[in-house]
Amino acid sequence: MTAPPALLEARHVVQEFAVRDSGGVRGGVVQAVSDVSFEVRPGETLGIVGETGSGKTTLARSVLQAPRPKSGQVLFQGTDLVRLRRRKLLEIRRHLQMVFQDPFGSLDPMWRVSQIVEEPLIAYQIGSSAQRKQRVAEVLDLVGLDPGRYGARRPRELSGGQCQRVAIARAVALAPALIICDEAVSSLDTLIQAQVLNLFERLRGELGLSYLFIAHDLALVKQVSDRVAVMYLGKLCEVGPADSIYREPFHPYTRALIDSIPIPDPAAAPARPAERIRGEPPSPISPPSGCRFRTRCPRAAERCALDEPQLRALADDHLVACHFPLIPQEGRHAAAGADGATARRDLRADTRAGANDGGGRV
C-alpha cells in the first residue's frame, strides 16, 4: 500500500479478560480483541462496525490504553502508547478524545455545561481563567449551542442531542487530532442523529479532525467513513474503502450485515430471508477454531475449521480474511435487491392466502 504515514496505527493488538465463575474459580478468558491491526490516516475517518460483543468498544479503549492491551502496539504519530509511562501517556492523550454513546451518562449531572467543557482545559492547565472561558464559548458556538443560553444549564435541562453536542464540545476543546466516537449517535432520534452527524462532518472540515467511528449500523458508518473495518468476535474480517465494502463486499459476514439493514423503500427491500445468517455469535470465551464466523457462515467448508484465514488484499486497499470470499459479481447489491423484494412480497402473500385457506380464520 502506498499511503501517507498513519496518524494512529494499531499492530496486533490483543485484549483479554479473565472471567470468574461462582466462588472466584477462574472460568475462562474472554478473547475480546484478538490480533487486530489497522491504521487511521491523517484527516481520515475509519469506521468500525460489528455486533454487540464483537470487541469494538474494547478495541477503542485499548487504543486509549484504558486498560492497556495484553500485547501489541498502538502507535500514535509514531509513538508507541503501550510502552509509555503514565505521565507521558497523559500528555499524548489530549490529542485523542472520545465521545460516548449515552449523552446523559457521560456528563456529570451536577455540573453546568460551561464547567463540563472547561474541565479538560483545567486538567491540562491551559491558559488563564479568562482564556479558558473564551475557549469554552468558542467551542460551544462551534457545536451550535449558544454559550449565553446554554452555558449555565445542567445536563438534565438539555435534550439528548444537546447533551451529545456538549460531549462533542468537551472533546474538541483541547483541539485533538483524533476523536474516537463509540456509538456516539446510536441513542439519538433519526433527525437529531442526522444533525449530529452533520456536525461531525463540519468539524472534520473546519478543524482537520480524524475520526475512529465505531457503530453497529453499517449504513451510518458507511456514510461518514472513508474506510470501513468490519469486526466479528474480536477479529477484523474485512477492511476497505467504504464504497467498495458496500458495493463489493468480499466477506460473507459483511454481506449478511448489509442484507440485515432495513431499507426505507419497500420496492428495494433487503434480500431474501433465506440468505440471512442464522443464530447468534458464539461465546468469545471459546471462539470456534479456524475462522470465527464459520459456525454461522453459509459458505463454511472443512478448511475453515482447520485453518484460520488471514487478512489479505483482494483489491486495491481492500483486505479480507476469508478462504472463500464472495466474487464481485455475486456481491452486487442493487441487482439482488429488486428481485429479493418481489420474491419476499410474493412469499408473504402466499403464506397469508395459505393460512386463510387452512385455518378458516378472519
Partner 1 sequence: MTAPGPVAAQAGDAQWAGPLLQIADLRVRFSQRGRQVHAVNGVSYSVWPGTTLAIVGESGSGKTVSSRAVMGLLPGTAAVTGSVRFQGQELLGLTDAQMRSRRGRDMAMVFQDPSRSLNPTMRVGIQVAEAVRAHLRLDRRAAHDRALELLHLVRLPMPRRRFVEYPHQLSGGMRQRVMIAIALACHPKLLIADEATTALDVTTQAQIMELLIELSEQLGMALVLISHDLGLAASYTDEVIVMYAGRIVEQAPTPELFSHVRMPYTKVLLDAIPRLERSSHSLFPVIGGQPPDMVSLPPGCPFAPRCPSAQERCVQENPPLAEHDPGHRWACWYPCPDGSPN
Phi, psi of 10 (to 5 degrees): -105, 130
CA angle 10, 236, 92 (to 5 degrees): 20
Q: Does 189 bind partner 1 (CB under 8 A)?
A: yes
Exactly one of 89, 269, 297, 321 binds partner 1 (CB under 8 A); that residue is 269
Q: Of the ranges 33-41, 45-53, 70-78, 108-116, which one interacts with partner 1 (CB under 8 A)?
A: 45-53
The answer to whether 82 and 63 are in contact (CB under 8 A) is no
Q: How far is the CB of 311 from partner 1 (least distance, A)?
A: 21
Q: Distance (Å, rounded) from C-alpha 337 to C-alpha 37?
A: 33
Q: Of the ranges 76-84, 146-154, 223-231, 313-321, which one interacts with partner 1 (CB under 8 A)?
A: 223-231
Exactly one of 77, 226, 305, 324 binds partner 1 (CB under 8 A); that residue is 226
Torsion-angle region of 35 (φ positive above 0: left; ψ -120 to 50: alpha; else: beta): left
Exactly one of 21, 190, 329, 357 binds partner 1 (CB under 8 A); that residue is 190
Contacts (CB under 8 A) with partner 1, residues 278-317: 278-280
Q: Does 3 bind partner 1 (CB under 8 A)?
A: no
Q: Does 332 bind partner 1 (CB under 8 A)?
A: no
Q: Distance (Å, rounded) from C-alpha 354 to C-alpha 350?
A: 6
Q: Distance (Å, rounded) from C-alpha 43 to C-alpha 39?
A: 12
Who's near 190: CB < 8 A, 6+ residues apart? none
Q: Does 51 bind partner 1 (CB under 8 A)?
A: yes
Q: Distance (Å, rounded) from C-alpha 208 to C-alpha 157?
A: 31
Q: How far is the CB of 15 from partner 1 (least distance, A)?
A: 21
Binding site for partner 1 (CB under 8 A): 45, 51-52, 159-160, 189-195, 197-198, 201, 204, 216-220, 222-226, 242-243, 246, 256-267, 269-270, 273, 276-280, 333, 348, 351-352, 355, 359-362
